[in-house]
Amino acid sequence: MTSFGLRVAGVTFLLDFASKWLLLNVVEMPARQFIEITPFFNLRMVWNKGVSFGMFSAESDMGRYMLIAFALIVVAFLVFWLMRVNTRLLAWAIGLVIGGALGNVIDRFLYGAVADFFDFHALGYHFYTFNVADTAISIGVILLILDAFIYGDEAQQKA
Question: Which residue in the list 16, 119, 134, 147 is annotated as catalytic?
Answer: 134
CA dihedral 19, 24, 26, 30 (to 10 degrees): 140
Q: Which phi-psi region, left, alpha or beta, contains residue 119 (left: φ > 0; alpha: ψ -120 to 50)?
A: beta
Q: In what helix (H) or strand (E) does residue 123 lie, and over which residues does it extend?
A: none
Nearest to 85 by CA among 31, 151, 22: 151
Task: Look up 61 and say whether it is catalytic.
Answer: no
Question: Which residue in the list 116, 119, 147, 153 is annotated as catalytic?
Answer: 116
Residue 61's Cα: distance from chain center in Å?
Answer: 21
**Do 14 and 127 form a contact (C-beta atoms < 8 A)?**
no
Task: Look up 16 and say whether it is catalytic.
Answer: no
Active site residues per annotation: 116, 134
